[in-house]
């Protein structure tokens, strides 16, 4: 199968998160999304969530936003924003890319692309630092993304979203049983 290869910066701009202190969770305030709140599979770890005082709109995650951990043992870990998860302000050790759809790119495709061996191979090859990995916004912007046709991206996303919905429901059931 032939793929078109683009760079992340072709379909979105990178931005560093806000450096604010986390406060105890308050459902009336935005949730402060930190690296530790992102599970390895890209879902939210709801244990220990914190809040943050309201911030400028640019720091609130919106549809088609994805954040990447930029440093440490978690470098490359990502979360693709899902409004069902709530209102999030992203922290300073995360980099947000606000993605835009094009004639050849379906933004939600990136959610699943970043789970591939190709992506993790890129992360391992590009992260630098003697003791802690690090990938900055410019490096993420140069990340290559292999794209099948847009129609295939949409079909893949639809199929994977169905599976993810079932997993989400099972997690919610398990969480309710644990209470």
pLDDT, tens digit, 9 for 90 and up, residues 46-100: 899 999 998 999 999 999 999 999 998 899 999 999 999 999 999 999 999 999 9
List of residues 6+ apart from 58 with CB closer than 8 A = 15
C-alpha span between 91 and 106 (Å, rounded):
26
Ordered by start, the domain boundaries in the chain are: 4-178
pLDDT of amino acid 114: 97
pLDDT band, very low/low/confident/very high, at 36 (cuts 50, 70, 90) = very high
What CATH number does the domain located at 4-178 have? 3.90.220.20
Report the distance separating Cα 138 and Cα 79, nearest Å. 19
Higher-scoring residue by pLDDT: 142, 179: 142
Cα 19-85-78 angle, rounded to 5 deg: 60
């Amino acid at each position: 199968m032939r793929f078109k290869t683009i760079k992340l910066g072709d379909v979105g701009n990178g931005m560093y998160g806000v450096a604010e202190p986390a406060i105890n969770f308050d459902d009336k305030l935005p949730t402060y999304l930190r690296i530790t709140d992102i599970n390895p599979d890209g879902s939210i770890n709801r244990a220990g969530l914190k809040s943050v005082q309201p911030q400028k709109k640019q720091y609130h995650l919106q549809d088609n936003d994805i954040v990447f951990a930029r440093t440490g043992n978690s470098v490359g870990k990502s979360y693709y924003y899902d409004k069902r998860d709530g209102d999030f302000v992203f922290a300073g050790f995360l980099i947000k890319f606000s993605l835009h759809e094009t004639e050849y790119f379906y933004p939600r495709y990136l959610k699943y692309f970043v789970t591939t061996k190709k992506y993790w191979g890129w992360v391992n090859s590009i992260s630098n630092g003697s003791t802690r990995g690090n990938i900055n916004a410019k490096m993420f912007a140069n990340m290559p993304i292999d794209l099948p046709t847009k129609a295939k991206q949409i079909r893949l996303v639809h199929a994977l979203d169905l599976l993810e919905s079932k997993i989400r429901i099972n997690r919610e059931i398990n969480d309710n049983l644990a209470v």
